[in-house]
Structure 1
């Protein structure tokens, strides 16, 4: 006989991982995990992602509207089962609360650490799926603001070169008619992941993502994920993907343009 249950939120699962729940709450989640494959997979994902989020997101959080976030967090009620003399929740759980509030407020924050296994066998599909998940959260407001000058672009790209073993320049990653917005160094299962974010005036956010890879050269191919077109390819040392909502033919053209420059 099956019993209906309430799907635990990411915050509940994170609290379970951190050992913050009461015995009754922990037992309830354990039972759900045994019965629900989707919840079990989500718990595994969050367990793998149990890394220093707050430190990774510090630069972006410093730009958030602190007063609005503080007010939203203050409105979140405490759990009835929590002990009054309990120690403050770990930084990581407080940060997840801030992350949720930021998304509600329209502030997009990249997942600087993405906890999935990364191997030559899986990298041609799984990492693209994870990237598509968080790029799908981007809006034009996420990347609002002035376009960085060439000097600022070069400085941001230089921060990626050492970890990726590349020599990226603003000219090499430029997309005609599309604004460069920022370059970030993220992490995928312990491996550096470079993200160059763009804003197309017609279709919205785009991103060029790069990881080291020993999977070998692969010609460009096209797929669709989360309603976005993805062109992906690899050379002997790196795997690349360009993702956005631009029509497929135009996306192929842009990908070939940037691929030729990155291969030069």
Structure 2
């Protein structure tokens, strides 16, 4: 038998994984996990993380036709070496992001070589890996994931202050407000040992949307567009940070929203 309950946020589930909740709160979330399959799956996703890179792709690389692959990959932009694990252990969330990035990069490289796409490739984008990880994560979001009222301004300000502290930003609710899109939460994640700011929204027309930011020393880059996991991504860089806006909205709308964000953040 199930009971009505408030679906825990990712921050609640992360705190549960890390043992940061009170006994009462932990018991409440454990009960919800036992009753709600979708919450249990999200908890497992967030928790399956302590996967070491060095062990991850070891079985696959041991069986791979190394010489053939090296010849095939020599014709395309070099990708970061990566390894994967077919059955990750239940652990913390942080290293899972790294392993996920590695598997995505390896998959992209092999797909390009084997399929033999008959076109030239753009120069390697040093920031593409973190966008792949974010897209994989955001693709799990549904409108129900972000259901609930928009937090009041003081709560938004407090959440953004945590991001400012870690990423050297100066964000305000007004600066990250998106036209016609509801703010839901701002949370601090981690990618490749660096803080990653994720500001999530719910667009009444197209569903989940997110503005994500990491520190970057690759220099200024004009806005560009790509598609990942069935979503449109507008990405750009300043002298100190890399940004991406990702969502299911049409390209024209995503581009227009991103143009507004670039002016304010």
TM class, shorter-length:
0.5 to 0.7
In structure 2, C-alpha distance between the alignment counterparts of 1:162 and 1:68, rounded to whole Å: 33
Q: Is the 8 A contact 1:128 1:241 kept in 2?
A: yes
Shift of residue 150, structure 1, vs aligned partner: 0.8
In structure 2, relative to structure 1, the CA distance for the partners of 1:144 and 1:176 (3 Å cut) is same
Q: Is the 8 A contact 2:186 2:198 kept in 1?
A: yes
Give the structure 1 partner of residue 213 of structure 2: 210
Q: How many residues align?
A: 181
Q: Is the 8 A contact 1:205 1:244 kept in 2?
A: yes
Shift of residue 102, structure 1, vs aligned partner: 2.0
Shift of residue 104, structure 1, vs aligned partner: 4.4
1:164 aligns with 2:167: yes
In structure 2, relative to structure 1, the CA distance for the partners of 1:255 and 1:64 (3 Å cut) is farther
Q: Is the 8 A contact 2:175 2:264 kept in 1?
A: yes
1:67 aligns with 2:50: no
In structure 2, relative to structure 1, the CA distance for the partners of 1:182 and 1:71 (3 Å cut) is closer
Find the partner of 2:17 among 34, 54, 61: 54
RMSD of the alignment, in Å? 3.2
Give the structure 2 partner of residue 102 of structure 1: 39
In structure 2, relative to structure 1, the CA distance for the partners of 1:126 and 1:144 (3 Å cut) is same
SS in 2 for 1:142: helix
Q: Is the 8 A contact 1:57 1:109 kept in 2?
A: no
SS in 2 for 1:137: coil
Cα displacement string for residues 147-169 of structure 1 (whole angstroms, at most 9, x for unaligned residues): 00111100100011111000110
In structure 1, C-alpha distance between the alignment counterparts of 2:27 and 2:163, rounded to whole Å: 21
TM-score by length of 2: 0.61
Shift of residue 58, structure 1, vs aligned partner: 5.9
Shift of residue 54, structure 1, vs aligned partner: 1.9
Unmatched 5+ stretches in structure 1: 1-51, 73-99
Find the partner of 2:153 among 146, 150, 153: 150
In structure 2, C-alpha distance between the alignment counterparts of 1:167 and 1:261, rounded to whole Å: 10
Unmatched 5+ stretches in structure 2: 1-14, 50-92, 103-123
TM-score by length of 1: 0.61
In structure 2, C-alpha distance between the alignment counterparts of 1:154 and 1:229, rounded to whole Å: 28
Give the structure 2 partner of residue 194 of structure 1: 197
In structure 2, C-alpha distance between the alignment counterparts of 1:218 and 1:191, rounded to whole Å: 20
Cα displacement string for residues 190-248 of structure 1 (whole angstroms, at most 9, x for unaligned residues): 10000000000111000000000000000000000000000000010000000000000
Q: Is the 8 A contact 1:218 1:233 kept in 2?
A: yes
